[in-house]
């Protein structure tokens, strides 16, 4: 636990569940020789946790979310029939293992598994937040390219929560929702491609500048998605798609279809 202090930023306490662990293993039928050294295995779990925490806490948003939820600064091991790998309960972080797996599958207690239990009460899970943040630089760069073509500043709409909620309502699974940043980046790349061709024509550029006055572009999910993909509303330029078409039919956001709405 002392090794965890530096990456985590404060002291962590390992909760003593030795008696419960011993009783669980004895009930499971572990031999007496095995039970003599069960504490060594508990120490292996603690070592694995600290190794993964060291990597986990390198991410500022991950560390921020962990400290927000790990309010008791207590970690520990539970042996039982719970299918979870990690859980946060009453501000404590627990590693879970079934009796038959005790001392095995240590590598399942990793950064990825820990990320999946955090941020569940936030606008979106930690893994989704990290994916969004990882793509923001690329999106900013692409907007810079569109700005050059359009000759006015282009910014990408900050409607991540709206998109996340629409995708979740539609029934997208967790693994899909974790990739929201990658998915939106596909739309930004398509918009950049369309702008590169569209704005070469002076008449096109002038027409677009007259109607696309805010400089804000984005993608949104709506049941009434425009047939041509593009829609200008209140000076904003939207790439509209239906829930079931998400990340499909990207070629509908073409320079030809953009010309068709002007």
For residue 228, the model assigns a pLDDT of: 82
107-118 pLDDT, tens digit per residue, is 999 999 999 999
What pLDDT does 178 receive?
A: 97
pLDDT tens-digit profile of 125-154?
999 999 999 999 999 999 999 999 999 999
> Is pLDDT above 90 for 202?
yes
Give pTM, 2 decimals. 0.90
Q: Among the residues of the chain, which ranges form H helices? A: 5-8, 18-28, 32-35, 38-56, 60-69, 111-115, 126-150, 160-170, 174-177, 180-198, 202-211, 255-259
Taking only the tens place, the pLDDT of each residue in 70-98 is: 999 999 999 999 999 999 999 999 999 99
Q: What is the pLDDT of residues 23-32, one digit of tens each?
A: 999 999 999 9
pLDDT at 43: 96
pLDDT for res 226? 79
Statement: residue 119 has pLDDT above 90: yes
Q: Which of 119, 73, 79 is nearest to 99 (CA)?
A: 79
Query: d(Cα 257, Cα 133) in Å, to the nearest integer?
Result: 30
Rounded to whole angstroms, how far apart are CA atoms 238 and 233? 8
The whole-angstrom separation of Cα 116 and Cα 127 is: 6
pLDDT the model gives residue 227: 79
């Amino acid at each position: 636990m002392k090794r965890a202090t530096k990456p985590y930023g404060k002291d962590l306490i390992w909760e003593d569940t030795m008696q419960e662990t011993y009783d669980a293993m004895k009930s499971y039928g572990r031999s007496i020789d095995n039970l003599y050294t069960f504490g060594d295995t508990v120490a292996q779990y603690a070592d694995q946790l600290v190794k993964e925490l060291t990597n986990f806490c390198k991410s500022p948003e991950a560390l921020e979310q962990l400290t927000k939820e790990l309010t008791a600064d207590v970690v520990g091991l539970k042996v039982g029939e719970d299918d979870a790998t990690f859980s946060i309960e009453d501000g404590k972080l627990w590693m879970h293992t079934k009796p038959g797996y005790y001392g095995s599958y240590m590598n399942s207690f990793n950064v990825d598994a820990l990320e999946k239990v955090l941020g569940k009460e936030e606008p979106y899970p930690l893994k989704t937040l990290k994916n969004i943040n990882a793509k923001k630089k690329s999106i900013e760069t692409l907007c810079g390219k569109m700005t050059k073509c359009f000759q006015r500043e282009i910014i990408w709409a900050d409607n991540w929560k709206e998109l996340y909620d629409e995708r979740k309502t539609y029934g997208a699974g967790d693994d899909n929702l974790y990739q929201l940043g990658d998915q939106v980046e596909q739309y930004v790349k398509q918009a950049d491609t369309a702008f590169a061709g569209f704005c070469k024509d002076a008449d096109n550029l002038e027409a677009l500048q007259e109607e696309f006055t805010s400089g804000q572009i984005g993608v949104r999910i709506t049941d009434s998605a425009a047939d041509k993909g593009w829609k200008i509303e209140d000076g904003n330029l939207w790439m509209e798609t239906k829930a079931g078409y998400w990340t499909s039919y990207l070629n509908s956001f073409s320079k030809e279809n953009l010309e068709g709405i002007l």
